[in-house]
């Protein structure tokens, strides 16, 4: 099964979901603005993505400035807490498959994790 953390108002998220649908299989769509991931889920996603919390935060959102998240002294825990409380801050879309995750920017970036771990199609 493939999971996508999706925002239907985001063109990249819509394009990534369409790409996943074209590849078939079962897709679990999580509208993360309505059902945000927990802090523990974000920690797992960050590990699967190979990213830091700062790399996953959308710095262009108004909340980023208003919450003072541009402070370089803030660590992952503070940034993760902000993303849980304000899920709009989470970069999207995130796709999880085969124990790995990828950011759908561009949408084609998720194709590599759709292959089985053994390399078979």
Quickly tell me which residue has 């920690």 as its tokens.
43
Handedness of CA 7, 11, 16, 18 (dihedral sign): positive
Query: Phi/psi of residue 45, each to 5°?
Result: -60, -40
Residue 10 falls in the annotated catalytic set: yes
**32 dihedral zone (left: phi>0; alpha: psi -120 to 50; beta):** alpha
Choice among 10, 39, 78, 109 that is catalytic? 10
The residues assigned a catalytic role are: 10
């Amino acid at each position: 099964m493939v999971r996508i953390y999706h925002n239907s108002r985001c063109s990249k998220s819509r394009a990534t979901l369409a790409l996943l649908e074209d590849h078939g299989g079962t897709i679990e769509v999580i509208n993360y603005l309505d059902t945000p991931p927990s802090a523990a889920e974000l920690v797992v996603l960050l590990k699967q993505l190979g990213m830091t919390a700062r790399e996953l935060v959308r710095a262009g959102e108004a909340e980023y400035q208003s919450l003072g998240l541009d402070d370089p002294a803030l660590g992952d825990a503070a940034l993760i807490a902000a993303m849980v409380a304000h899920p709009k801050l989470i970069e999207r879309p995130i796709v999880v498959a085969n124990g790995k995750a990828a950011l759908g920017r561009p949408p084609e970036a998720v194709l590599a994790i759709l292959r089985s771990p053994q390399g078979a199609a």
